[in-house]
């Protein structure tokens, strides 16, 4: 193999690794958001667990996080405004990334 091939393989491996970490962070963030929203909605136990799964799967509707925002916004109604939901989304994403990176090390 040439140096160019080695470099290409390294970039491909890094891209795959980064994509895997991002997927894990997204899923963890959505789980945290679901737990937060379930608490606001007064859901506990199995009902809360089911709601968390709904939030996590809502992220598969389209690329990006707007599908999760729409799910939360629709479900929470007047319990949380847009600014509160988006701030919580940012907070959960930062925490999820930190946790995933810590686990990867």
- Read off φ and ψ for residue 104, nearest 5 degrees: -75, -20
Show the domains of the chain with their CATH numbers: 3-104 (1.10.790.20)
* Band (18; pLDDT cuts 50, 70, 90): confident
- The pTM score is 0.84
**Residue 25, both tokens:** 């962070």
Q: How many Cβ atoms are within 10 Å of 85's Cβ, its own excluded?
A: 20
pLDDT digits (tens, 9 = 90+) for 38-82: 999 999 999 999 999 999 999 887 878 899 999 999 999 999 999
CA atoms of 37 and 76, how far apart (whole Å): 7
């Amino acid at each position: 193999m040439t140096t160019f091939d080695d470099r290409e393989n390294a970039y491909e491996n890094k891209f795959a690794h980064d994509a895997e970490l991002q997927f894990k962070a997204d899923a963890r963030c959505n789980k945290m958001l679901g737990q937060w929203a379930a608490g606001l909605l007064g859901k506990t136990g199995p009902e809360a667990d089911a709601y968390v799964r709904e939030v996590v799967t809502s992220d598969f509707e389209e690329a990006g996080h707007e599908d999760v925002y729409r799910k939360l916004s629709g479900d929470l109604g007047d319990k949380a405004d847009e600014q509160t939901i988006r701030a919580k989304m940012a907070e959960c994403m930062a925490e999820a990334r930190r946790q995933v990176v810590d686990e990867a090390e």
